[in-house]
Amino acid sequence: MDGWWEIGLLGPYVVTTPSVNLDSSSSLKSGFTLQILHYYGESGMLGVKTAPVMGALIDKFDDQFNTIVLAEGDSFIPGPWLIAGADPSLNSVNGIGTTALGRPDISIMNAFGTTASALGNHEFDLGSPVLSSAFAPSGTAGQPSYWKGAMFPFITTNLDFSADSSLKGLADASLGGPAANAFAGKDVMDIKAKIAPYALVTKAGEKIGLVGATTWDLLIKSSPNGTFPKDDANPATSDLQEVATYVQAAVDKLREAGVNKIIMVDQLDGVIDRNKALAPLLSGVDVMVAGGGHERLGDENDVAAPFNGHDADFIATETYPIIVKDKDGKPTVIVTTDTEYSYLGRLVVNFDANGDVNPEGFDSRLNGAYAATDASLRLAYDSTAPASEIIATSSIAKSVQDITVALD
């Protein structure tokens, strides 16, 4: 096997694990290997501690495989953290420029190297203008007040922005944006700070499709200004079936374009059972990175950590990852994690030559929930140094810490 070997954190243990070069098309088994690092923001002040640790964990893992980094939605939520984010003292921090509510959160996501994000309900809690200001670029490039905005797109298939003056101009035409907004199916690098139903990312010459969905409960859980879940074309169908229709249409477009590895990133904002019920209604979705349930999935090699407001346990009846069958009887893998950057989810998944998930290719020593704690960080780096020293040597973690220190 091509590649190199390193000492890494596998759950609570330190063992020797195989790795492949990011630029290589080789994999652990025949086919293609993709690493999905995923996280859930929705942060309160706990993020002052956890976000820099998560940044260092991402920095450690992201060059070990062909990697994408996905956010599970709810990029921010009203509270002291969000209010502190508008303090003018952050204007010069990490290129934020003139700060505003939510911009530090988006800046943290940028530092993580986020590939794409789901769009949740909490982004709308203070209205669409706050959301737009948080992730859309503002000002003139090169000027101190310039805000570069999100370096990634939001992905959702089932929202209509046509009546939302703050977001319509940022949305794909199929989502109610102007006819000229042709964002669907574009590479994520070409649609930064845009809202698209589906997008592409290329790793080692392989195209991976990303599709998304947002909770149908948006209007009863949040306060958008003109954004609505798409109309129910068939009143006889359930909300879940309706989401399946929109997601499947996007998946079909990707498959028609020759894309056979498709990841869904969503904020259905319910327990993981919503995703488990949705998967059998779909064909061609290989992995679901689910958000909104606040659940902690772990496996036998993972150790849950005590965080303020977060119990130190995993769901007893599930494991990381959950594997169910899609409409065609093929495996769909479901993962999720908890909020406030408390755990980094790590899924190393192998696809066969047809783009189907190999369910026997999962390694629980690699996959699972990595707690954003000092102990986990030292294990990941095979180091006895204080976490503060490890963070200082990580460019990602240091950028994140510059923001969190200012927020604190």
pLDDT of 29-38, one tens digit each?
Answer: 458 999 999 9
pLDDT of residue 6 exceeding 50: no
The per-residue pLDDT for 92 is 82
Q: What is the pLDDT of residues 233-275, one digit of tens each?
A: 677 789 999 999 999 999 999 999 999 999 999 999 877 899 9
Average pLDDT of the chain to the nearest whole number: 90
**Mean predicted confidence (pLDDT) in 374-401:** 96
The per-residue pLDDT for 293 is 87
Fold assignment, 4-407 = Purple Acid Phosphatase; chain A, domain 2 (3.60.21)
| CB-based contact 337:291 (threshold 8 Å) | no
Check the CA dihedral 99-104-108-113 and report its sign: negative
pLDDT of residue 14 exceeding 90: no
Give the H/E segment covering residue 210: strand 206-214
What are the CA-CA distances from residue 321 to residues 107, 269, 281, 294, 324 (Å)?
29, 19, 19, 15, 10
Q: What is the pTM of this model?
A: 0.92
pLDDT of residue 56 exceeding 90: yes
Taking the CA of residue 206 as centre, how many other CA atoms within 13 Å lie in the half-sphere pointing to its CB?
Answer: 25
Q: Which residue has the tokens 């020797």?
A: 16
Distance between CA atoms of residues 344 and 362, nearest Å: 17
**Mean predicted confidence (pLDDT) in 136-140:** 93
DSSP lists the bridge partners of residue 349 as 34
**Number of residues in the chain:** 408
The per-residue pLDDT for 359 is 83
